């Protein structure tokens, strides 16, 4: 087929993917997409507002044209493509995070992680991601911004995919700053929510809906009692099996027989989840799992998996019941 990419060229494109990742990261940090929101601009203008070297910025912009993030007009101005427009949304916060030195360095330890099964992040920094961010507020803020950005579309899909209206009290365990819980209560005003996370995390919570109680603590020790449903979104994939089961057992101790547990995680059948699985390996040291693997975790903690509800965002809601 004329013009088809050769296997060698295709492989080299994948090998050099880090170059595109860093170029997009720098564009996100500089706010290039926001600067171009009003239309194409000249390099000199962009260099002035982003406090960058004009010649070096020009090279960056041309590289972004090569990966279809930007367009270059005949007059030399640069504008956003459809991909570039997306950089103004949740993807932009993730792009700004992934190129930060602590995260970037952990991927450089993938070989170590594959050989040992250990977190690449810990190999580089000597502590896990949670300890590292606890001592560095700027890194915690960057991570929180990335997670909040990525979660917006997912939160809306989860709130719509499951009938949360049948519960009186929903306890969001490890719920961050409350965005998902606020979305659930917006769909179901009769529900009362309890947001539970570490003190440093919930200190920055500003729930957008009334009826949310904020409780600080560790899900390795205890979670609030009295919930009709316990919600764990993007929590279990941060941990290997033993600590994941410990979290689930803590939730089980707080629950009554028949109480619902809702686990929101990525659908393993999606190709991107396989790469996310490596991100869990080199980062927090966790893993993505199949439905069967989640069922095994749940059974070990005293739950029965009732079913999986996929959403269009690539995550599923796994519904379980306390035995």
Domain with CATH 1.10.10.10 in the chain: 7-88
Judge whether 237 counts as a catalytic residue.
yes
pTM of the model: 0.91
Summarize pLDDT for 93-147 with one digit per residue, the tens: 999 999 999 999 999 999 999 999 999 999 999 999 999 999 999 999 899 889 8
**What's the fold here for domain 152-322?**
Rossmann fold (3.40.50)
37 pLDDT more than 80: yes
Summarize pLDDT for 205-255 with one digit per residue, the tens: 765 556 799 999 999 999 999 999 999 999 999 999 999 999 999 999 999
- What is the dotted CATH code of the domain comprising 7-88? 1.10.10.10
Average pLDDT over residues 293-306: 98
The catalytic residue among 25, 103, 188, 237 is 237
Domain with CATH 3.40.50.150 in the chain: 152-322
Summarize pLDDT for 160-190 with one digit per residue, the tens: 999 999 999 999 999 988 889 999 998 899 9
Q: What share of the chain is helix, strand, coil (3-state, %, to 5)?
A: 50, 15, 30
Provide the H-helix boundaries in the chain: 7-15, 17-30, 32-35, 43-50, 54-66, 82-86, 90-98, 101-107, 110-116, 120-125, 129-134, 137-161, 179-187, 199-202, 241-254, 271-282, 291-300
């Amino acid at each position: 087929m004329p013009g088809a990419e050769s296997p060698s060229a295709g492989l080299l494109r994948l090998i050099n993917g880090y170059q595109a990742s860093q170029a997009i990261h720098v564009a996100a940090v500089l706010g290039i997409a926001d600067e171009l929101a009003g239309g194409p601009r000249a390099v000199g203008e962009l260099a002035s507002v982003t406090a960058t070297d004009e010649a070096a910025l020009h090279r960056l912009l041309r590289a972004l044209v090569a990966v279809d993030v930007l367009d270059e007009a005949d007059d030399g101005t640069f504008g956003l493509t459809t991909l570039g427009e997306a950089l103004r949304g949740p993807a932009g916060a993730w792009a700004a995070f992934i190129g930060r030195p602590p995260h970037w360095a952990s991927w450089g330890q993938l070989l170590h992680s594959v050989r040992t099964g250990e977190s690449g992040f810990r190999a580089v920094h000597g502590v896990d991601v949670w300890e590292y961010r606890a001592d560095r507020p700027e890194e915690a803020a960057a991570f929180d911004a990335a997670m909040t950005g990525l979660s917006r579309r997912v939160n809306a899909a989860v709130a719509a995919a499951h009938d949360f209206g049948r519960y009186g009290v929903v306890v969001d365990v490890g719920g961050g700053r409350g965005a998902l819980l606020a979305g659930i209560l917006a769909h179901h005003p009769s529900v009362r929510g309890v947001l539970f996370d570490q003190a440093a995390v919930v200190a920055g919570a500003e729930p957008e809906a009334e009826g949310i109680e904020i409780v600080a603590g560790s899900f390795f020790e205890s979670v609030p009692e009295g919930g009709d449903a316990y919600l764990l979104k993007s929590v279990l994939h941060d941990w290997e099996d033993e600590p994941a089961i410990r979290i689930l057992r803590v939730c089980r101790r707080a629950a009554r027989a028949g109480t619902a547990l809702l686990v929101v995680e990525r659908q393993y059948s999606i190709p991107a989840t396989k790469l996310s699985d490596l991100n869990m390996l080199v980062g927090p040291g966790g893993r993505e799992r199949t439905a069967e693997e989640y069922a095994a975790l749940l059974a070990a903690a005293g739950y029965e998996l009732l079913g999986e509800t996929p959403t269009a965002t690539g995550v599923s809601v796994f519904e379980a019941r306390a035995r």
